[in-house]
Structure 1
Amino acid sequence: MFLSHASVVRPIAMTCLIIVLVLFGLSSYDKIGLDSFPDVEIPYVTVTTVYPGASPAEIEVDVAKRLEDAVGTINGLKTMKTTCMENVCQILLEFQLGESVDIAAMDVRERIDKVKKDLPAAAEAPEILKFDPNATPVITIMLTGDLPIDSIYDYADETLANKLSTISGVAEVQIAGGEQLELRVTLDTEKLSACGLSVVQVLKKLGDANVKVPVGRIRQGIQEINVTYDSEFKDFADLGSLEIGTFQKRRIYLRDVAKISMESEEKRSLAFYDGQPGVILKIVKKGDSNAVRVIDSVRAEVERINRDRELPSGMKLQWVRDSGSFIKASVDDAWSSIVIGVILTAAILFAFLHEVRSTFIVAVSMPVSIVVSFWVMQMCGFTFNMFTLLALGTSVGTLVTNSIVVIENIAKKLDQGMDPKTASDIGAGEVAVPVFASAMTNVVVFGPIAMMTSLVGRFLVPFAITMTIATLVSLFVSFTLTPILASIMLRKELPEPNPLLKAFNRWWDAGYGFIAGWFNRSVHLVCRHGVVTVLLALALFLFSVLWVAPRVGMTFVPEDDQGEFIIKLEFPTDYSLEITLSRTLQVEKQVRQLPAVLSTATVIGKVQGTVGQASEGVYLAEITVVCKPKTERLQTLDELRDMFREALKPLSNCIVTVNIPSSAGGSSAQLELEIVGSDLNTIEQVANTAANNLKLTGKARDVDTSVRVGKPEIKVVPHRAVLQNLDLPSSTIGTLLRGSVEGLKQGTYKRGARSFDIRVKLDEKKGYEQLPALAFSSKEGKPLALNAISTLQPSTMPIQINRTDRERVAKVYANPAPKVGLQDLVTIVTDTVNPLLPPGYKIRFGGQVTSMTEAFADFAQAIVFAIVLTYLLIAAIMESWTRPFLIMFTVPLALIGMELALLWAGIPLSIFGLLGFVMLIGIVVNNAILIMDDLAAQKAAGLPPREAMLAAVGNKFRPILMTSIAAVLGIVPMAFGAGIGSETRASCGIAVIGGLVSSTILALYVIPALYILFSGKPKKNEPEESKK
């Protein structure tokens, strides 16, 4: 071969080239960032419309349906999810992968502009934003102190958040645990009524008095001077002295009927860290920013703030959690697995080769191939993430395969008396075809992976490219560095080993000789009963498909043990903030006392929900639990989760869900079921019944629905005849009523460089009793009580209405119980819900189930395509249609071991297991290629087909055994490691090991049996030497 010949003839030049490539790889290592996942753009657009005072039902009819009709026919739209809540309509538009999110947002904006005029007059203009699911909170920090919570929140909002927002890669800083300060004018309705004044008059007086108008410019001589009319309030006294009317010839000032104070907005959220009140800041990274770099930058700034004592006296900034710790630990564990894999592979090579020099020559190909791959990864813009590290880790054992075959053949040439240079040149050249074929089969299987169209396929592109890079680099190394080192280091004279090593070599050779002899006898026996052998292999394959596979089950992705849980508490919707606070703190205290818990961070009023679930409300709470790392505790992920569930089971009047943080931020259930139908009551009834039935199966955990008891409300129904007689528009009463109860922002109050909203509202301590006496003014200025112009009716309203693709839906959420696959849960849910559906109603799965279905269908096509490409490649190299057909029989043999290994490990088949099977397609055919290549040589030497096959299997038994064991040991640390982030790697590693073992063992028997069956009946009298 040209490469091996050039390497032997000009070893210095080729060595210099290899050194340059290694230096490029080493310099690229520090430039490659760390992240959880590859950067994949997912095109989402959100449309948010605020309609003050509207109920979810009104928003559905007046806003949601009109907007859905406008945007529902845009090209490239995949799904449309709508949530109608009180005052707000939110529409999430997901477009097909590959669609430009910028163009999609422009299309949505154009469609919305055309229907704006059809929306209610009181509705605000729809806000259209590009939603980036990669822009997720990666850091949580807590600001606590001895100061009032309002002061802490004010500092966090005005100073700390602004400082952190300037850090490169930070998109925004989300704050929870308090509200912004405002200038509150709290009116006393009794005093207003006694003075014959109304809220409307107060609002008008404030609006008229608090103004600042640029007048223009005047000239004074040669100067130009700006003129401004400034009537803004300068301080509290100035505001309090505002005259708002007269009563019995006495001037009434604002301070006479109102309390003026600087307060936070109405408290709708609270935060606690280990039971101590404070303010939580969540740092959201930009979608295209590297998570670890952002985290490191923020950590450095937080440490600097604490070190330089920039915080006000009494405040303390604490680091709660970050996703970077898990990413770094996971990456470190992956590198440890790779290093251990290299060491184990080198050890098995030394055991077979008995010689340090040969072992070094072969083993050096692993680190060289990996290091050179860094350079190409850096040029491709890849990061060290779950998929690229999985590629490097699983490639460790296979990287030496080519070099083993080359060094084995060079050793044979040395034994035949050739000098090292000639042996290296000819030995490498003779195996060029099978080595090239083996390497290229590993490469072509990743072409279909790179062309997958699903979201999972986009994430797997870096994996496929990284594997291809590493394989091609190892092929280059095996025909350059391996012959160079062999020609220099290998000599016919071997040094005398020390006694201990000599004893080990004798023991190893005796063991291998026994195994080789047993194999030689057994393969002759098997070939005499070829039909039985093939039928047994077929039976094993059917057994693995029909019996083992259903028991293995399927899931989307394994759950990583990050040592974190999110406990969501949902109390009755009529709970006030005070009741929710009291009960949540009791739960938090109980959770902190559980074993393995390090800290808790609690937010009341704002939770990270999924589409279709409430995320804001004073009846909601969320506790983020940080536990000890998995390497420092005895409990598994499932055991911890069950412990939390059991501890919180006695909690009454509360829906409790325990989830792990999802990759998209926050937490979400693995199963999401939509009940689709026109009648809201019917789909909600089906959802509730389905959830109850699902709980009874014992196969699901955290079962919940989107159905909630309606929130109490008071309907103010106007007396239309009275309003008409008084010439009062109904819309005016509604707006003024909102201003009186919720409060109306009436200008701003400036203090220094800061500006605060002025909010006028009633004294809410008097509550419901105030409403009937709430005063309005007739056109003549006569005060009118609310109960004189309307009726107050207690009622309830739905919390929200969910819609998907313009259809009403009620949702059911659940997580699989331990040892239950997601696909098994889907089957159980389908069987449970279908009998409950009335005619015209249907079910539809979403969330991870949809992603799993799309990914598995994509994988099925990729696997078929990979098998076809592998067959065509081997056919082209061997110039034969039949021999590659025989080689491809190793693929179903690999499936047998893969399914059995997953069943033994108790791991359901996931996308990582399927990825392992795709890898196996390219790996397991290599053994058969070696056999078939030697078979051709034996037949060319004149041996009959049967004897030629038996000779070929015998000749290649040692290299096949060596390469297979090396490949298995290289993956063992990744498959059976218990470190951080090992769950996803284990799924792939165990699948590959199982497939390698079964395919290697069975192929050594099935391939000869099939070949002999196809080439004719065996002779009745077996040659004498075959019986030995």
Structure 2
Amino acid sequence: HPELTIRQVTASVEEIEESYIASLEALLLGAVLAVVVVFIFLRDWRATFITATAIPMSLIPTFLVLEPLGQSLNGISLLALSLTIGILVDDAIVEIENIVRHMRDGKSPYNASMEAADEIGLAVVATTATIIAVFAPVGAMPGIIGQFFKAFALAACISVAFSLVVARTLTPLMAAFLLKHQKHEDADPFWMSGYLKGLGWSLKNRWKVVAIGTALFVGCGVLATRVPFEFLASGDTGRAGFSVELPPGATLAQTDAVVQRITRDLRARPEVTSVYASIGGQDVNQANVYADLTDKGERDLSQQQFARVMVDSWKPIPGARIGAGVAQQGGGPSDGTSYRFAILSDNGVALTAAARAVEAEMRTVPGLANVVNTAAIARPEILVTPRPDQAALMGVSTSAISQAVRVATIGDVDQNLPKYNLGDRQVPIRLRLTRDAREDLSVLETLRVPTAMGTSVPLSAVADVQFGAGPSQVLRQDRSRVATISAELDGIRSGEAAAAVSKLPTVQNLPAGVRQVPAGDEEFIQEMITGFAIAFGTGILLMYAVLVLLFKSFAYPVTIMASLPLAIGGAFVALMIGGSSFSISSLIGVLMLMGIAAKNSILLVDYIVMAEKDGMPRLEAIMDAAHKRARPILMTTFAMGAGMLPVAVGWGADVEFRQPMAIAVVGGLISSTFLSLLFIPPIFTIIDDVAGFLRRRLGRMFAGQRDVPAQAATPAE
């Protein structure tokens, strides 16, 4: 058919492709920045090359494992890899930095590789094990939240596990045969003397440091309450959707006329490239309209601003309810541009009155636009009310009245209809009154209703027939009637909208029998917080168990995990400074912090314990550990921060979802690193003193358990 021309009107695949390409760009750019950081610190291209080798050697096996597990290369898994790109070189950095330090002490590359790998082995295994211990329970979370975290947890855990294998095998091997002695001296960096002085003050004033750290954590917790909550951040996808609803009973032609006007208005806008409309999805009075927009850099208005301008321009259309965004099918979360409030009751009258009162007050809340109450949607109907006394006298049952009215208005049920055979199928023959007759009460009143004696009487003799109005639909939840008030978000987040609505007088004083239930994104936010609490607790316990097994101590893991509050507090501060919300992406970042924030403490505590076993006093061991491990701590922190920098800055597509996660991780890294370098050593001394005191008390208490009772002498016969 050469006369036919097929042209694409709209599609969502471009958005997916842009997000995929942006994730790959962030992955590659993050890898390059991480390698650059390593070179700046080590000033050795051979050591930098060995460290960079860990990235492809960790990523490629990850793809091989993800495929048999049924995981695709989606936005979540790519996001996990782009955020863990700095972690993949983390173990290799610690290994290679230790090897280089031993070489600068005069050892050969082979001997330095053997001794350094043996010295740092426990710390490398511990840092990787804590990350896996955090994400293992996260991947098993139930519900929609779990589906997000499953792909992320698998990609993160598998890639980090392979990075450990590479760091413990390939990195020392390559270092032993590729590294060469450098001529420059291993001088301390310019900041080392100032750091050691500050650490000395912290050790002398350890209780003051603990108080300062506690105050900072509490202050960050207070600031965290000011960070708005939402499930998913609204993004600019370049595709604006609009929902259209006409009053119940509207015809398809009337709906089409409104949609045609909306289409003409959209095509007249310079931001619109194409328009697609779908009429009659659920009912003939409903429609969805989609407008594809130009690139973000080519228009002055964002997608949300454009939708708000267009919806406001359509308010004069009579009888049409037009809103920004398309209703989410299947009960999933929204796109972050709407808010829903729901109340339940078994009393329909009280529910309707409460819903209308809440609707009126929600219209006064700043940031809420186009407030719609589902309980307020009514349609005209004909009410047939039987008169029981007259019906009983004439022998007419209510079922007979119902059947007569049903057959005349909508036709009989399919099982009772005659069929017209068309060979391969049967067409039911439905008989009913014409449209004009169905709308004429005098015609309906003359309908004949059969009696028990075999005669018939007019409908008006046994029932009252009149016009009325009723709800267009009755929605139920948990076997109770539910009323939902929806609104579009105009410059605020769903968490801020929920907080504002909860303060309304009607909401705080709902009538008896009427109760509020979570709805929309608020329901998913509650599920997210609950799942996060379970995953957080499980991750903490698993992390503690792993560290206890590795360090063979119940006290040292407490010191290591003391850096977690500092990291979480820094994440919330960064979100507030960056103007981001706490959403599911931020939650992923906070959970990632739990694993990587313990890295700094592990490197310090591991060296302190090792030095004390070699006979070094505790204070000297702490200062020596800080002196030798401060540089690898900063190297790994800067490498991870550089790897996440492209995502945190917001380069590429789909930045609204990816950016809060990277901001949370970078903020937590900064706070945990710079504070833990001064905070963890004093904590170590306190925990060590407490552990020593308990060890002495318990040793005296159970000293007899170690002694073997003397055997009584057997008398000679």
TM-score bracket, normalised by the shorter chain, equals 0.7 to 0.9
Q: Which residue of 2 aligns with 1:492?
A: 181
- Structure 1 residues 376 and 513, CA, compared in 2 at 3 Å: closer, same or farther? same
Q: Which residue of 1 aligns with 2:107?
A: 418
Deviations 1:509-533 (A, max 9, x none): 99x8333333233333443433333
Q: Which residue of 1 aligns with 2:10?
A: 321
- Structure 1 residues 427 and 939, CA, compared in 2 at 3 Å: closer, same or farther? same
Letter in 1 for 2:144: L
Query: How far does residue 989 in structure 1 lie from its aligned partner after superposition?
Result: 1.2
Q: Does 1:1001 align with 2:689?
A: no
Q: Which residue of 1 aligns with 2:498?
A: 826
Q: Does 1:337 align with 2:4?
A: no
Aligned length: 679
CA contact (8 A) 1:819 1:906 kept: no
Work out which of the residue numbers 519, 531, 541 in structure 1 matches 2:195. 519
The CA distance in 2 between the partners of 1:412 and 1:898, in whole Å, is: 33
Q: Which residue of 2 aligns with 1:626?
A: 292
Query: How far does residue 542 in structure 1 lie from its aligned partner after superposition?
Result: 0.8
Query: How far does residue 1012 in structure 1 lie from its aligned partner after superposition?
Result: 4.6
Letter in 1 for 2:366: G
Q: Does 1:734 align with 2:425?
A: no
- 1:137-216 matched pairs, under 5 angstroms: none
Work out which of the residue numbers 263, 270, 274 in structure 2 matches 1:588. 263
Query: How far does residue 706 in structure 1 lie from its aligned partner after superposition?
Result: 1.3
Q: Which residue of 1 aligns with 2:639?
A: 966
Deviations 1:596-648 (A, max 9, x none): 22222223333xxxxxxxx4243x33222222344654433433343334333
Percent sequence identity over matched residues?
27
Letter in 2 for 1:626: D
Q: Does 1:616 align with 2:283?
A: yes
The CA distance in 2 between the partners of 1:924 and 1:722, in whole Å, is: 81
Q: Which residue of 1 aligns with 2:366?
A: 698
Q: Which residue of 1 aligns with 2:156?
A: 467
Work out which of the residue numbers 877, 895, 908 in structure 1 matches 2:550. 877
Q: Does 1:457 align with 2:457?
A: no
Q: Which residue of 2 aligns with 1:565?
A: 240
The CA distance in 2 between the partners of 1:647 and 1:358, in whole Å, is: 63
Runs of 5+ unmatched residues, structure 1: 1-308, 495-504, 607-614, 1018-1028
Letter in 2 for 1:714: I
Deviations 1:151-183 (A, max 9, x none): xxxxxxxxxxxxxxxxxxxxxxxxxxxxxxxxx
The CA distance in 2 between the partners of 1:665 and 1:798, in whole Å, is: 22
CA contact (8 A) 2:343 2:517 kept: yes
- Structure 1 residues 732 and 545, CA, compared in 2 at 3 Å: closer, same or farther? closer
CA contact (8 A) 1:330 1:979 kept: yes
Runs of 5+ unmatched residues, structure 2: 691-717
- Structure 1 residues 773 and 732, CA, compared in 2 at 3 Å: closer, same or farther? closer
Q: Which residue of 1 aligns with 2:575?
A: 902
Letter in 2 for 1:672: R
The CA distance in 1 between the partners of 2:197 and 2:449, in whole Å, is: 109
Query: How far does residue 860 in structure 1 lie from its aligned partner after superposition?
Result: 1.0
The CA distance in 1 between the partners of 2:534 and 2:224, in whole Å, is: 19
2:70 alignment partner, SS class: coil
- Structure 1 residues 767 and 543, CA, compared in 2 at 3 Å: closer, same or farther? same
Query: How far does residue 800 in structure 1 lie from its aligned partner after superposition?
Result: 1.4
The CA distance in 1 between the partners of 2:393 and 2:12, in whole Å, is: 59
TM-score (norm 1): 0.60
The CA distance in 1 between the partners of 2:613 and 2:500, in whole Å, is: 59
- Structure 1 residues 778 and 792, CA, compared in 2 at 3 Å: closer, same or farther? closer
- 1:355-754 matched pairs, under 5 angstroms: 355-492=44-181, 513-546=189-222, 548-606=223-281, 615-618=282-285, 620-630=286-296, 632-659=298-325, 662=328, 664=330, 670-715=338-383, 730=401, 733-738=404-409, 747-748=419-420, 750=422
The CA distance in 2 between the partners of 1:663 and 1:377, in whole Å, is: 29
Query: How far does residue 850 in structure 1 lie from its aligned partner after superposition?
Result: 1.9
CA contact (8 A) 1:352 1:962 kept: yes
Letter in 2 for 1:616: D
The CA distance in 2 between the partners of 1:796 and 1:691, in whole Å, is: 20
The CA distance in 2 between the partners of 1:395 and 1:773, in whole Å, is: 73
Query: How far does residue 803 in structure 1 lie from its aligned partner after superposition?
Result: 1.6
CA contact (8 A) 2:356 2:376 kept: no
Q: Which residue of 2 aligns with 1:851?
A: 524
- 1:805-824 matched pairs, under 5 angstroms: 805-820=478-493, 822-824=494-496
The CA distance in 2 between the partners of 1:317 and 1:592, in whole Å, is: 19
Work out which of the residue numbers 878, 886, 889 in structure 1 matches 2:562. 889
The CA distance in 2 between the partners of 1:465 and 1:590, in whole Å, is: 47
CA contact (8 A) 1:701 1:817 kept: yes
Deviations 1:357-412 (A, max 9, x none): 11111011012101110111011111122322222121100111110111112222
Query: How far does residue 580 in structure 1 lie from its aligned partner after superposition?
Result: 3.5
- Greater strand content: 1
- Structure 1 residues 737 and 663, CA, compared in 2 at 3 Å: closer, same or farther? closer
Q: Does 1:796 align with 2:472?
A: no
Deviations 1:904-951 (A, max 9, x none): 121111222222122111111111111112223433454432232122
- Structure 1 residues 596 and 839, CA, compared in 2 at 3 Å: closer, same or farther? same
The CA distance in 2 between the partners of 1:726 and 1:385, in whole Å, is: 65
Query: How far does residue 572 in structure 1 lie from its aligned partner after superposition?
Result: 3.1
CA contact (8 A) 2:58 2:163 kept: yes
CA contact (8 A) 1:556 1:911 kept: yes
Letter in 2 for 1:830: S
CA contact (8 A) 2:333 2:521 kept: no
Letter in 2 for 1:997: I
2:274 alignment partner, SS class: strand
- Structure 1 residues 371 and 772, CA, compared in 2 at 3 Å: closer, same or farther? same
The CA distance in 1 between the partners of 2:519 and 2:571, in whole Å, is: 29
The CA distance in 1 between the partners of 2:475 and 2:250, in whole Å, is: 23
The CA distance in 2 between the partners of 1:787 and 1:395, in whole Å, is: 77
TM-score (norm 2): 0.85
Structure ranking higher on relative contact order (CA contacts 8 Å, 6+ apart): 2
CA contact (8 A) 1:564 1:661 kept: no
Query: How far does residue 490 in structure 1 lie from its aligned partner after superposition?
Result: 1.1
Deviations 1:770-796 (A, max 9, x none): 9739998999xx999999998753222
Letter in 2 for 1:477: V
- Greater helix content: 2
The CA distance in 1 between the partners of 2:554 and 2:444, in whole Å, is: 94
- Structure 1 residues 1013 and 793, CA, compared in 2 at 3 Å: closer, same or farther? closer
The CA distance in 2 between the partners of 1:442 and 1:884, in whole Å, is: 14
Query: How far does residue 817 in structure 1 lie from its aligned partner after superposition?
Result: 3.9
The CA distance in 2 between the partners of 1:467 and 1:952, in whole Å, is: 29
The CA distance in 1 between the partners of 2:577 and 2:606, in whole Å, is: 35
The CA distance in 1 between the partners of 2:353 and 2:273, in whole Å, is: 41
- Structure 1 residues 1016 and 425, CA, compared in 2 at 3 Å: closer, same or farther? closer
Letter in 1 for 2:38: L
The CA distance in 2 between the partners of 1:754 and 1:579, in whole Å, is: 33
CA contact (8 A) 1:630 1:980 kept: no
- Structure 1 residues 458 and 768, CA, compared in 2 at 3 Å: closer, same or farther? closer
Deviations 1:400-443 (A, max 9, x none): 11101111122223233433333322322221111111111111
- Structure 1 residues 742 and 861, CA, compared in 2 at 3 Å: closer, same or farther? closer
2:363 alignment partner, SS class: helix
Letter in 2 for 1:1009: P
The CA distance in 1 between the partners of 2:537 and 2:670, in whole Å, is: 22
Query: How far does residue 729 in structure 1 lie from its aligned partner after superposition?
Result: 5.8
Q: Which residue of 1 aligns with 2:533?
A: 860
- Structure 1 residues 783 and 581, CA, compared in 2 at 3 Å: closer, same or farther? farther
Letter in 1 for 2:277: T
Query: How far does residue 715 in structure 1 lie from its aligned partner after superposition?
Result: 4.3
Query: How far does residue 1015 in structure 1 lie from its aligned partner after superposition?
Result: 6.3
